[in-house]
């Protein structure tokens, strides 16, 4: 089969492309901007890439056009496909029909932690010699790639609640039909497509309605919203984590200890490289899901001792003059607060300089802007890039007083950070984009 993918350089669609190549299909694709690192990965996989959405691509005559959810009505190539009645399908639907059909799908859903938890779960299965396939919205450093077909029925997927495509406004995860499902947490996000939390809860309810009675839901007992979803109707067994009377993980950021507990007491422990209560909760969820697929707790806990996290999750980009620069994907206020708090527990009283780019669609709309100051309260200084924002970041961060610096120019922001920095500091950069290579600019500035 020849598939031509519209919007191929996005993380999800790029992963679909790589899986399609591995499955033996011919793959071509286009995007508004064909950019690395995804463009490099795709070309290395033998995918022909086209810049833009020119009508000349119709001459490729693929068996099907696979349309990413970044493609909207008015796109010239999409309009031509519709006008000519050509065969098209959404990315999640193509994935479900051509890759996931007949496989044991392990899906990880939730507002936060999907990428890290999916990566942990895939690694636990890999360490148990189960050769899983996976499609993850980041690059697990244990694998070095974001997608792999795998050689067994097991397939781990990051199950996103964002909409499917211009033609299908259901959440992506509705298509995946998992057997094992992690529900990590549930908060309001994606304000560009959801009106309120209740709308997202309905999508999660639709997911729960597709799960088999022989499957398993691994759900966060501490999340009121998830409990509400499950009470609406559920036909699948549930195991809960973050349950003080059941499964939970404790530990110490200083020693790096991870301890798995159950209703009967301690189950096992190991030393690992991650920190933060959120990552310990992610680990507990991954261990329960892996056990459902056949990996005993002891083996799973041992595997986590060799888990190396995900690119752009508290990734150290460099240390110069005893000043460490981190890169993290956090962009929702809850994730920002959790990330800052995790670093605080790890480094003690050393200074944290938090650097934020409010870049996600929800943050650009300003829906959660008044939660930002509280999310940065554990940082000693907060630097915000306000370029292209439609709301006043200075007003939103006013509660931080002189600790907050807001700049509309990236070079000026870098200058202010460098003027503030001193040996022993930790510069925590948070964005869901490239942030103008601010990490490289900071490291270059520190070196000089």
**Domain assignment of residue 129, yes or no:** yes
Residues 204 and 320 in one domain: no
Q: What is the mean pLDDT of residues 368-376?
A: 87
Residues 232 and 151 in one domain: yes
Q: What is the pLDDT of residue 365?
A: 75
Residues 80 and 187 in one domain: no
Q: What is the pLDDT of residue 225?
A: 92
**Domain assignment of residue 310, yes or no:** no
Q: Using pLDDT thresholds of 50, 70 and 90, give the confidence band for residue 191.
A: low
pLDDT tens digits, one per residue of 144-155 = 888 999 999 999
The set of residues, in sequence order, having a beta carbon less than 8 Å from that of 439 and lying 6+ positions away, is 317, 318, 325, 327, 429
Residues 70 and 136 in one domain: no
343 and 326 Cβ atoms separated by less than 8 Å = yes
Q: What is the mean pLDDT of residues 12-24?
A: 95
From 91, 125, 160, the end of a domain falls on 91
Averaged confidence pLDDT in the chain = 91
Residues 18 and 78 in one domain: yes
Residues 117 and 245 in one domain: yes
Number of domains, the chain = 3
From 279, 304, 329, the end of a domain falls on 304
| Residue 226 CA neighbour count, 13 Å, CB half | 22
Residue corresponding to tokens 């056990």: 291
331 and 337 Cβ atoms separated by less than 8 Å = no
Kindly tell me if the per-residue pLDDT of 218 is higher than 80. Answer: yes
Residues 246 and 106 in one domain: yes
Euclidean distance between CA atoms 57 and 35, whole angstroms: 19
Kindly tell me if the per-residue pLDDT of 382 is higher than 90. Answer: yes
Euclidean distance between CA atoms 441 and 317, whole angstroms: 11
Residues 297 and 423 in one domain: no
Q: Which domain holds residue 336?
A: 315-447
Q: Using pLDDT thresholds of 50, 70 and 90, give the confidence band for residue 47.
A: very high
Q: Chain centroid to CA 311: how far?
A: 11
CATH of the domain at 434: 3.90.190.20
Kindly tell me if the per-residue pLDDT of 207 is higher than 90. Answer: yes
**Domain assignment of residue 203, yes or no:** yes
Q: Using pLDDT thresholds of 50, 70 and 90, give the confidence band for residue 239.
A: very high
Q: How many C-beta atoms lie closer than 10 Å to residue 391's C-beta?
A: 15
Residues 351 and 435 in one domain: yes
pLDDT tens digits, one per residue of 319-364 = 999 999 999 887 788 888 888 988 888 888 999 999 999 887 777 7
**Domain assignment of residue 97, yes or no:** no
Residues 129 and 247 in one domain: yes
Residues 298 and 321 in one domain: no
339 and 330 Cβ atoms separated by less than 8 Å = yes
249 and 283 Cβ atoms separated by less than 8 Å = yes
Residues 234 and 327 in one domain: no
From 63, 91, 119, the end of a domain falls on 91
CATH of the domain at 169: 3.40.1190.10
**Domain assignment of residue 309, yes or no:** no
Q: What is the pLDDT of residue 335?
A: 83
């Amino acid at each position: 089969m020849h598939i031509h993918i519209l919007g191929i350089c996005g993380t999800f669609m790029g992963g679909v492309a790589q899986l399609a190549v591995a499955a033996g299909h011919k793959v071509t694709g286009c995007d508004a901007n064909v950019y690395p690192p995804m463009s490099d990965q795709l070309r290395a996989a033998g995918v022909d890439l086209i810049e833009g959405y020119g009508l000349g691509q119709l001459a490729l005559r693929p068996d099907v056009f696979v349309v990413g959810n970044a493609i909207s009505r008015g796109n010239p190539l999409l309009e031509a496909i519709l006008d000519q009645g050509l065969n098209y399908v959404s990315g999640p639907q193509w994935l479900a029909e051509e890759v996931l059909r007949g496989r044991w799908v392990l899906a990880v859903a939730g507002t936060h932690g999907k990428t890290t938890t999916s990566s942990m779960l895939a690694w636990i299965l890999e360490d148990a010699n189960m050769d899983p396939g996976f499609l993850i919205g980041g690059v697990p450093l244990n694998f070095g790639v974001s997608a792999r077909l795998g050689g067994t029925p097991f397939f781990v997927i990051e199950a996103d609640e964002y909409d499917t495509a211009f033609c299908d406004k259901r959440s992506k995860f509705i298509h995946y039909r998992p057997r094992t499902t992690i529900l990590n947490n549930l908060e309001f996000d994606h304000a560009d497509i959801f009106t309120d939390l209740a709308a997202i809860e309905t999508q999660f309810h639709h997911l729960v309605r597709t799960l088999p009675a022989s499957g398993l839901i691994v759900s966060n007992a501490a999340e009121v919203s998830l409990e509400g979803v499950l009470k609406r109707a559920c036909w699948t067994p549930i195991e809960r984590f973050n349950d003080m009377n059941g499964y939970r993980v404790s530990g110490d950021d200083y020693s790096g200890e991870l301890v798995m507990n159950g209703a009967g007491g301690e189950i096992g422990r190991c030393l690992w490289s991650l920190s933060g209560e959120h990552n310990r909760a992610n680990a507990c969820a991954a261990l329960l899901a892996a056990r459902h697929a056949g990996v005993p707790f002891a083996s799973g806990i041992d595997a986590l001792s060799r888990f190396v996290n995900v690119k752009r999750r508290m990734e150290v980009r460099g240390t110069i003059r005893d000043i460490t620069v981190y890169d993290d994907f956090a962009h929702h206020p809850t994730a920002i607060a959790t990330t800052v708090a995790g670093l605080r527990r790890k480094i003690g009283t050393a200074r944290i300089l938090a650097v934020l780019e409010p870049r996600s669609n929800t943050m650009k709309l300003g829906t959660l802007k008044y939660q930002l100051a509280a999310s940065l309260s554990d940082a000693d200084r907060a630097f915000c890039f306000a370029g292209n924002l439609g709301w006043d970041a200075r007003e939103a961060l006013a509660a931080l007083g002189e600790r907050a610096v807001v700049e509309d120019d990236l070079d000026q922001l870098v200058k202010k950070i460098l003027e503030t920095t001193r040996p022993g500091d930790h510069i925590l950069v948070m964005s869901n984009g490239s942030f103008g290579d601010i990490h490289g600019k900071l490291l270059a500035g520190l070196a000089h």
